[in-house]
Amino acid sequence: MDSLRRLEEIFAHFPGIGPRQARRFAYYLLGKPPAFIKEFTSLIEEVKKSTAECPQCHRLFIGGSRICSICSDANRDQSTLMVVARDSDFESIEKSAAYKGLYFILGGTVPILDKEPDKRIRLKQLLERVQKSAPKEIILSLNTTPDGEHTADIVKDALKAPLYLGKVTILGRGLSTGAELEYADSDTIKNALKNRN
Amino acid sequence: MDSLRRLEEIFAHFPGIGPRQARRFAYYLLGKPPAFIKEFTSLIEEVKKSTAECPQCHRLFIGGSRICSICSDANRDQSTLMVVARDSDFESIEKSAAYKGLYFILGGTVPILDKEPDKRIRLKQLLERVQKSAPKEIILSLNTTPDGEHTADIVKDALKAPLYLGKVTILGRGLSTGAELEYADSDTIKNALKNRN
Amino acid sequence: MDSLRRLEEIFAHFPGIGPRQARRFAYYLLGKPPAFIKEFTSLIEEVKKSTAECPQCHRLFIGGSRICSICSDANRDQSTLMVVARDSDFESIEKSAAYKGLYFILGGTVPILDKEPDKRIRLKQLLERVQKSAPKEIILSLNTTPDGEHTADIVKDALKAPLYLGKVTILGRGLSTGAELEYADSDTIKNALKNRN
Amino acid sequence: MDSLRRLEEIFAHFPGIGPRQARRFAYYLLGKPPAFIKEFTSLIEEVKKSTAECPQCHRLFIGGSRICSICSDANRDQSTLMVVARDSDFESIEKSAAYKGLYFILGGTVPILDKEPDKRIRLKQLLERVQKSAPKEIILSLNTTPDGEHTADIVKDALKAPLYLGKVTILGRGLSTGAELEYADSDTIKNALKNRN
């Protein structure tokens, strides 16, 4: 296989990309000046080299420090720990500027029929972290999809007393921004009614 | 215009229907046996004749009674009144089986720049209803769209003391069923965090 | 089941309509004045009563005449017969104003694995029509979908000599209006090349 | 701006990619092993370095030769020249295996109100090529969109006698694969009828 086809094949494995768009990516790069190509490939290598997994929260971060900027920030609320599935969820939460505590990245979710949750998520590491730092509240911020709710159940179970004696909460359920009642499912309405204020 | 074209034109004004689907509707009916056509047109007339607007909650209902089956149901919680924009919102709430009080149908929402809310919604009738029955709680169940939130503000304003001394609540905001944090907007995350439990 | 639910159920069987839109249709009609309802139901009955199947081309038509306006129009080219699957295909062709001959409506298409094409399409009636009027050309205007092409093959086979000695043609294949080569399939490109002009 | 943000920004300029997917691309790469990153960046540089524009047909090609593999292939029909807008159109045509002549890549199309077509497409180079090689037939394979048809008109005009005395053709118009007559536009039906066979 020639190198152009191989490049297309790699692009075709990017998230959400099919063979046709992969080809357009390859031609897009071919049409760019050599200086751009140089910057692009250097950037990829630089980002990869400067990225490390924080040993405390397990998120990917950039910079030469040992732990990430959030774990090392004394101004964050050290008594609250939010558990999320992925780095992208962490990014969403940070963007909302609504949370000021610490994080723990599970690394994924557990599909409903999966027999070995330990291979899917960092459950052991979470328990160690909780025993070491004993937060007052652990907020499980997981998708309200079947996999997300299953994962929340597994984590809640693992955090039971006597291992953890603090509070375990989940994100509030209800109407999201822009929701229309006519199209809302019964569960969402039930939760929105329960959480009315 | 011949009657077939006129029928297509009427179908083309049905909600969400364009000229092409309107034509398919007309041909669909033409292909049906006469007995079906008779049943269909009789049903439309019967439903229309037997439908009335409940003088108390203003929803459309079927049956010869003076007020609708919910307003006349002594088992419903008479101390709670839920305000919704449309009959279809009422149907969604009833389908969830999560609410056991009474209703009031506003008849629509008020667009943000609208100067005469009274022409859009049954505000006067709502205030009369509230003064007569003095519910303990009024739940505003409106879409979390700009128009829905604007309408909620108008109703809340109109219900201020001394006219109404009970509690006015709105449906809880948060993650709806199936929500993914990666795609959630910041407002929804903020509300989900505030309403965590 | 009450009559409103029954009406919703009928609407839910309209082509392309699901239960939710069916309910909106019912409420749409409920919100209309009685005069509108009267016109609507009368129109449906009138259209149905005044519609007949043309004994010659088998299309549905309105009017008291024995055969339809096209079959009885001496100005149409009597030597060309176009075979289409459905009334809606006939409407598309007429709208293009590109064809001035006569029509024959097959009444459907034959799915690829179907064993009894005679039950799906008016094949026997077509052969009778062709033997009686002996057109110079028969144009098969069928969808270029698998079912459409399969039906064209069946009709072509049935029209073989000695039964029919005239010309049998199919619509030209190639680029449709607005086509983009980047997204065109290989068959379409092959045909467009063959039919270049 | 840190290098991760800069990388996301570059991905956000890839064809069809928004900021959210750009971020997912960046995290996708971060999650890959260093060996993969090395292969990926080397491949991009290699592809770019080994790619040249063929001086004869102007398509991008890989390999150390002076002209591309198609222009140098004596088995291709030297008397037919197909004019396409972009490399991706060329790829579609080659994939169909229906064409065995030579190509010329215009480099784009001319928007309808554009005053300077020469800046948009390689018109001058096409005329030089035609004068030098005098093909018997020039096939204009352009999209049947407004811009594509406008570009075809411009090229046809420029190729008029006495400059070029051979045949200029365009791809056949008609029903594409999978077309449904009910949804076909009148122009397509007209062309399909004209090109029936």
Q: List beta partners, residue C169.
A: C139
Cα gap D11→D15, rounded to integer Å: 9
State the pLDDT at residue C1: 57
Tokens 């009738």 correspond to what residue?
B125
Count how many residues are written for chain A.
Answer: 197
In the predicted model, what is the mean pLDDT of residues A123-129?
Answer: 96
B184 interfaces chain A, CB cutoff of 8 Å: yes
Token digits for C14? 């309209």
Residue C196 one-letter amino acid:
R
**What is the total residue count of chain D?**
197
Q: How far apart are CA A69 and CA A54, in angstroms?
A: 9
Residue B145: pLDDT band (50, 70, 90) is: very high
Interface of A with B in 55-94 (CB under 8 A): 84-86, 88-89, 91-93
Q: Which CATH architecture has domain B77-170?
A: 3-Layer(aba) Sandwich (3.40)
At the fourth CATH level, which superfamily is domain A3-51? RecR Domain 1 (1.10.8.420)
Which of C88, C105, C167, C196 is best to mutate for the D interface (most D CBs within 10 A)? Answer: C196
Q: Which CATH class is domain C3-52?
A: mainly alpha
User: Residue D6 is inside which H or E element, if any?
Assistant: helix D3-11
CA C31 to chain centre: 35
Please write the tens of the pLDDT for every residue from D26-46: 988 988 889 999 999 999 999
- Rounded Cα–Cα distance for residues C135 and C165 (Å): 9
Distance, CA of D41 to CA of A146 (rounded, Å)? 38
Domain edges within chain A? 3-51, 77-170
Q: Does residue B110 carry a pLDDT above 70?
A: yes
**Using one digit for the tens of pLDDT, what is the confidence trace for D155-186?**
999 999 889 999 999 999 999 999 999 999 99
Mean pLDDT of chain B: 93
Whether residue B162 is preceded by a cis peptide bond, meaning omega within 30 degrees of 0, is yes
pLDDT per residue rounded down to tens, chain C (197 residues): 588 889 999 999 999 999 989 988 998 898 888 999 999 999 999 999 988 899 999 998 887 789 999 999 999 999 999 999 999 899 999 999 999 999 999 999 999 988 888 889 999 999 999 999 999 999 999 999 999 999 999 999 999 988 999 999 999 999 999 999 999 999 999 999 999 99
| pLDDT for D63 beyond 90 | no
B5 has a chain C CB within 8 A of its CB: no
Q: What is residue B20's predicted lDDT score, i.e. its pLDDT?
A: 86
Backbone angles phi, psi at A151, to 5 degrees: -60, -40
The Cα A25–Cα A17 span in angstroms is: 10
CA–CA distance, D83 with D95 (Å, rounded to integer): 16
Q: How confident is the model at residue D1 (pLDDT cuts 50, 70, 90)?
A: low
Average pLDDT over residues D137-153: 97
Q: What is the pLDDT of residue B1?
A: 57
Interface partners of chain C (CB pairs < 8 Å, 3 or more) are B, D
Interface test with D, best of C181, C185, C197 (most D CBs within 10 A): C181
State how far the Cα of A35 lies from the Cα of B152, in Å rounded to an integer. Answer: 56
C31-66 residues labelled b (16+ CB within 10 A) or e (exposed): eeeeeebeebbebbbebbeebbebebbbbbbbeeee
Gap between the terminal Cα atoms of chain C: 62
Stretch B118-132: mean pLDDT: 94
- C104 contacts C81 by C-beta, under 8 angstroms: yes
Q: What residues of B are in contact with residue A191 (Cβ under 8 Å)? A: 172, 174
pLDDT tier at A1, thresholds 50, 70, 90: low
Please list every residue in chain C whose beta carbon sits closer than 8 Å to the beta carbon of residue B37: 44-45, 48
Neighbors of chain A with 3 or more C-beta pairs under 8 Å = B, D
Local structure of C170: helix, strand or coil: strand
Q: What is the mean pLDDT of chain D?
A: 93
Q: What is the phi/psi pair of residue D13, to 5°?
A: -95, -5
The model's pTM: 0.72
Please name every residue paired with B53 in a beta bridge, in sequence order, or none if there are none. B60
Give residue for tokens 């097959």.
C106
**In the predicted model, what is the mean pLDDT of residues A86-95?**
93
Minimum Cα–Cα distance from C87: chain B residue: B27
Residue type, B113: L
Decide: B144 and B85 in contact? Cβ < 8 Å: no
How far are the Cα atoms of C15, C25, D118 from residue B10, in angstroms, in the given order?
A: 16, 12, 52
The partner residue sitting opposite B2, judged by closest CB among C16, C27, C62, is C62
ipTM of the complex: 0.86
Instruction: Tally the C-alpha atoms within 13 A of residue B196's C-alpha that lie toward its C-beta.
Output: 18
Report CB contact under 8 Å: D26, A15.
Answer: no
